[in-house]
Amino acid sequence: MGLVEGKIAIITGATSGIGARAAELFVEEGATVYFTGRRREEGDALAGRIGRNATFVRADATSEADWEKLVVDVMARHGRIDALFNNAGGPAPTGGIAGIPVEGFDAAMALLVRSVMLGMKHVSPHMVARKQGSIVNNASIASHLAGYSSSMIYSAAKAAVRHLTRCVGMELGEHNVRVNSVSPGAIATGIFGKALGLDERRADAKAKEMEQAFARAQPIPRAGLPEDIAQCALWLCSDRSSFVNATDIVVDGGVIGGRAFSPHQESLRQMKAALEAS
């Protein structure tokens, strides 16, 4: 029996990367999944690969009308929504604060924060009515510390997601509805190429190359993979995490755990050698 056997789940931003792997994994573990994205070709192809328990819905996660339609349709078919993984995201404007374009800031906040708010707004009443459900929001290690994103705006948006998660978790937890977030570290996906200006398809195709680039970014000697985040989201949506609420789980191989051990030891050796020589 799978971890989410029989559950009805919605996953946003799932035409590639973390969302795509989450859609696959949730179905493998027994869920019926409705996954969204703006790219119909990629969405239809993924649904075809996963099989009949996965349905692609072309939707814009920043649009309240799209959220309303999605939730109404899922409720009409199943009468319940057990899990929501708010995963939709993308890059934000880079550079110093004096050069941030207002329209880029607004678009990033809509994609990274408003989409999460809208998902919780429209799904939570149905979960509260049944006194059960789990919501998982995708945050980032960039929400914990400065300098872990190409964009300070992305970092600020993800910090908002993490705190909004906690606030809503404290509200909905009273109704046995859990709300948590997961903070990925250096995960090899297309988002990095997109942040540097590549078009979506080309950036997604370069994700494999990022694995080598990220292999030494953390103590665990490999890059983070979409699988790592999908597994965490799966567990948070399962009944095995039924006492976990209003918290953030960092999945980063230890990258923000502190100063890297080996370089630190080498710097101490060099310091000792310099002191002995003086």
Q: 165 near 180, Cβ under 8 Å?
A: yes
Number of neighbours of residue 264 by Cβ within 10 angstroms: 11
Q: 136 near 12, Cβ under 8 Å?
A: no
Question: What is the edge-to-edge ordering of all strands in the sheet holding 248-251?
Answer: 54-58, 32-37, 8-11, 83-86, 133-138, 177-184, 248-251
List 85, 154, 192, 235, catalytic entry = 154
User: Is 154 in the active site?
Assistant: yes
Residues 6+ apart with CB under 8 A from 141: 148, 183, 184, 185, 250, 252, 255, 256
Distances (CA, A) of 183 to 47, 100, 194, 259: 26, 25, 19, 19
Place of tokens 């570290």: 185
Rounded Cα distance between 143 and 223, Å, is 19
**DSSP 3-state assignment of 78?**
helix
From the list 221, 223, 240, the residue with the least C-alpha distance to 232 is: 240
Amino acid at 6: G
Which are the catalytic amino acids? 154
